Amino acid sequence: MILYDYILSPSCYKVRLLASLLGVKLELRAVDFHPGREHKGDELLALNPAGSIPILVDGEDVLTESAAILSYIAAKHGQNWLATSDAGEVGAQQQWLSFSHRLTSALGGARLVEMLHFPGDLAALQEAGIAALRELEAALFARRLTGQTFLVGDRITIADIACFPYVALAPDGSVSLDPYASIRIWMRAIRAQPRFIEMPGIHRLHELAPDPLAGDA
């Protein structure tokens, strides 16, 4: 599987993260998104007329929507990262995959304005981002009340991976995460997964590595 990738793209990171968590090897092809705008060049437009990344190419299959790519990789390599056939799970998974697009446009939009000089109405993007974070916080709090940590079913799924990056990077668009206790606990549970990988702005949990001083204690 070839991933057309940009190191600072949270949507590309979703794909890299899921692949890493599942132990799936991706062949990465770096795209000069900023400052080169390579995703708007002829070669990549031929592959994806929408002019966006990530793009996943697997033999004949070409996918250009991150939620679709997550579903595809999980279907091939990690069935338990998808909803079961239970209607409640199917609905919840689809709900959160759709919700992740709101995170992308609001928090991701604010991030591009604040960080990389993209045009946009920053105040409106931040307000929409805060509204989405409040919804997510309320939903995760409700999940905690029933003893659950993740968004769907009783385990981590692609719904969590789809929502995690833009939430974790909200501060890049000057939207604070400090008020959201349940989101903090959920993000920590994702970061604590075996084979978790980081991206700039999302640090690993150093405490999970062996303490270099432990020998002295």
Partner 1 sequence: MSDQAMRDAWFPVGLLSGLTRAGTASMLMGEDITVGLDDTGAPSVDCGGRKLPTVERFGHLWTSLGAPEKDLFTIPEADHPERTLVDVGVVRVKCSPLRAVENFLDIAHFPFVHTDILGEEDHPEVNNYKVEVRKDEDEVWATKVEFYQPQAAASAGGGIITEYMYRVPAPTCSVLYKTCPPRPGEWDVICLFVQPLTEELCDVWPWMALFDDTSTITDLIHFQQLIFLQDRSILENQIPKKLPLDPALETPTRADLTSVAYRRWLKRHDYTYGAQLVAE
Partner 2 sequence: MQADERTQWVPAAVSTDILDGTVVPAALPTGPIAVWRTASGELHANGDRCPHRGMRLSHGFVRGNSLSCIYHGWRYGRDGGCEHIPAHPGLEPPKSINCGPLPVAEANGVVWVAAQAPEEAPAEIEGFEALKSMLFCATPAAIAEAAGGALKTELGGTPAHLVTAERTPSETFVVALVPTGTDVASKLAAATALEALRRVTESAT
Closer of 6 and 72 to partner 1 (Cβ): 6
Options 9-17, 79-87, 158-166, 209-217: segment touching partner 2 (CB under 8 A)? 209-217
Return the residues of window 20-79 that contact partner 1 according to CB under 8 A. Answer: 30-32, 34-36, 38
* Cα four-point dihedral sign 68, 69, 72, 77: negative
Out of 182, 186, 187, 202, name the contact with partner 2 by CB under 8 A.
Answer: 182
Q: Is residue 145 near partner 2 by the rule CB under 8 A?
A: yes
Member of 45, 75, 116, 181 binding partner 1 (CB under 8 A): 116
> What distance in Å separates the CA atoms of residue 168 and residue 45, rounded to the nearest whole number?
29
Could you tell me the CA-to-CA distances from 34 to 87, 100, 107, 133, 138 in Å, in that order? 41, 23, 18, 27, 35
Binding mask 153-172 for partner 1 (x = CB under 8 A): ------------------xx
7 interacts with partner 2 by CB under 8 A: no
Query: What is the rounded CA–CA span in Å between residue 111 and residue 169?
Result: 8
CA distance readout (Å), 78 to 84, 146, 157: 12, 25, 9
Quote the least distance from Cβ 207 to partner 2, whole Å: 4
| Angle (nearest 5°) at CA 199 between 174 and 32 | 90
Which residues of this protein are in contact with partner 1, per CB under 8 A?
6-8, 30-32, 34-36, 38, 114-117, 171-172, 174, 200-201, 203-204, 206, 209, 212
